[in-house]
Amino acid sequence: MPAKTTSKPAETDVADGIVTVEVVPGGAVSGSIRPPGSKSITNRALLISALADPGPRDSRLNGTLASEDTAVMIESLQRIGASIYSSDGGRRLRVSSLSPRSGSDEPIELDVANSGTTIRFLTAALSALGGDYRLSGVPRMHERPIGDLIDAIAPIIEGSIEAESEGGCPPVRICSSGWSGDSIEVAGTVSSQYLSGLMMAAPLAGHDIEIRVQGELVSRPYVAMTADVMEAFGASVDCEWSDGDEDDRFLISESYQATDYAIEPDASAASYFWAAAAITGGDVKVVGLTSDAVQGDVEFVDILEQMGCTVTDERDGIRVAGRASNGGDFDMNGISDTVQTLSVVAMFAGSPTRIRGVAHNRFKETDRIGDLARECRRLGADVDEHEDGLTIHPLSDETVEAYQSGERTTRVETYDDHRMAMSLALAGLVLPGIRLVNPACTAKTYPHFWADLEVLTGRSHRWTSNP
C-alpha cells in the first residue's frame, strides 16, 4: 500500500450544532437538468485569459462556474494584477490581461484554500511569469503533494522554488525571473494537473517549450482538455501520446490572445444525476453535454451502459435510463473524479464492481480510496480496498430491508470533500435514514447541488442541526 496522508472527518459547527441532510427516497428519479459550468474548464480559462497578451480587448467567458474553487482562482489572479468583472451571478466573466505588481520587498501571499487546480496551475504560471510569491491553503492542502511539479520547474527557473511542508507539500515559495531552457520533464503518476499547469505556463517563456512526461500519465482526458482550451486562446499544442514505453511529449508555442469562450456544464457534476437514474431505475437527461464534450468525464455513461442502463446521446444532452443491474471491472484512471459516484451505484448493482487505476485518488481533497471504503462500509456494503482502487459488493437484501423498516440508520461523514458528499447522498434516493454530515462542503464546486437535486426528485430534503 503506498504512503498516504491521514484525513479526518470534517463537521460543520454552527450556532446550534452540526448540520446534516437526509435525502428522501421516493421511487424512480426522472427528469432533465443542466449542471453549472465546468470547474476544470473555468479555472483553465480564467488563468489563460489573465495570461493573454495585452491588447485592445478583454476575454469574455460565458457559462462559468461560481463556486469556492473558482472564487479562489479569481481572487488569486486579482491579487497578482488581473482585472476580472462578473455578471449574471458569476456565470459571465470579463477578464483583462494581468499587469504584474511590483515594488514590494515582501512576497505576494496567495491563499488557495483547498483548490488543487489553483495551486498547481499558479505554481507553474507564476514561476514562468516571474515575481515573488507564497502560495498556501487549508491544513489539508499542506498535506497534498506538489513535489513532482516543483522538481520539474527547478531546473528551468531563473530563481528559486520550494515546497515548505514535509513530503514536498505546500506552502510553495517562488522567487523567479522567469524560465530558461526549452525542455521540461515531469512525473505523470500523481496528478495530471502538474502537466496541465506546465502546459498553460509554457507560452510565457517566449519560445517553444517541449514537455516530456515520465511514467504513466493519469487522467489523460484532463490534459486533452487543457490543450483544447489553450488552442482556443491562440496557443499551439502538439501532443504526441505514447502507447508503449516512450514518453508522452508536448510541444508548446505561440502566446495567448484574448477571446470569447463558452464553458460547457460540469461533467463530473453530471455524473450524480446520471447515477440517480441508474440507482433508482429512472430516466434522467443532462442538458448541455453530449459525447462531443471536451470533458472526459462524460465517459461515465459508458460504464453505466455496461452495467445495464440505456444511454442515449441526443442533440442537446445525454439521457440515462434504467437500473444499473450488474457490476463489472472498470479502469477509471481517465475519469477518476467519478469513482465515488460509481461506488454508490455499485452498492445497488446485482454483482461486485472492481474499480482500478486510481491510486492517485488517495491524494485529493481526502483519501478517495480509504475514506470512501470506510463510508461505504458504514452504509453496510462489503468493500475490498486495493492499492489502486476498490471492489464494492452490493448491499445485502437484509441490509436494505433494515433501512426500509427503520431498524437501521446511518450517519455518513464527508471529510470536507465535495465529491464525497454529493456521491454518498445518492444512497438516500433508495435508503431512508441516511444523514450526511457537513453538506455545505459541496459549495467548493457546486453551491446549488442540494437545490438542484430537490428539483430533479420533486422532494425536499430533511435538514437537521445538533442531531
Q: pLDDT per residue over 270-308, tens digit each?
A: 999 999 999 999 999 999 999 999 999 999 999 999 999
Between CA 361 and CA 357 the distance in angstroms is 9
Cβ–Cβ under 8 Å, residues 88 and 64: no
**CA separation, residue 417 to residues 7, 95, 223, 258 (Å):** 10, 29, 23, 34
Low-confidence ranges of the chain (pLDDT < 50): 1-16
Cβ–Cβ under 8 Å, residues 393 and 382: yes
pLDDT of residue 189: 87
pLDDT of residue 172: 98
Q: Which cell numbers in the block locate residue 69?
A: 474553487
Whether residue 171 is preceded by a cis peptide bond, meaning omega within 30 degrees of 0, is yes
pLDDT of residue 101: 62
Whether residue 56 is preceded by a cis peptide bond, meaning omega within 30 degrees of 0, is no
Between CA 52 and CA 300 the distance in angstroms is 33
Which residues are CB-neighbours of 418 under 8 A, at least 6 positions away?
A: 365, 441, 442, 443, 444, 445, 446
Write phi, then psi, for 184 (nearest 5 degrees).
-135, 140
The model carries a pTM of 0.91
pLDDT of residue 17: 58
Between CA 39 and CA 47 the distance in angstroms is 12
Beta strand 283-287 with 30-33 is parallel
Work out whether the CA dihedral 413, 418, 423, 428 comes out positive or negative.
Answer: positive
Q: Which cell numbers in the block locate residue 238?
A: 502538439
Annotated active-site residue 337? The verdict is yes
| From 297, 337, 367, 417, active-site residue | 337
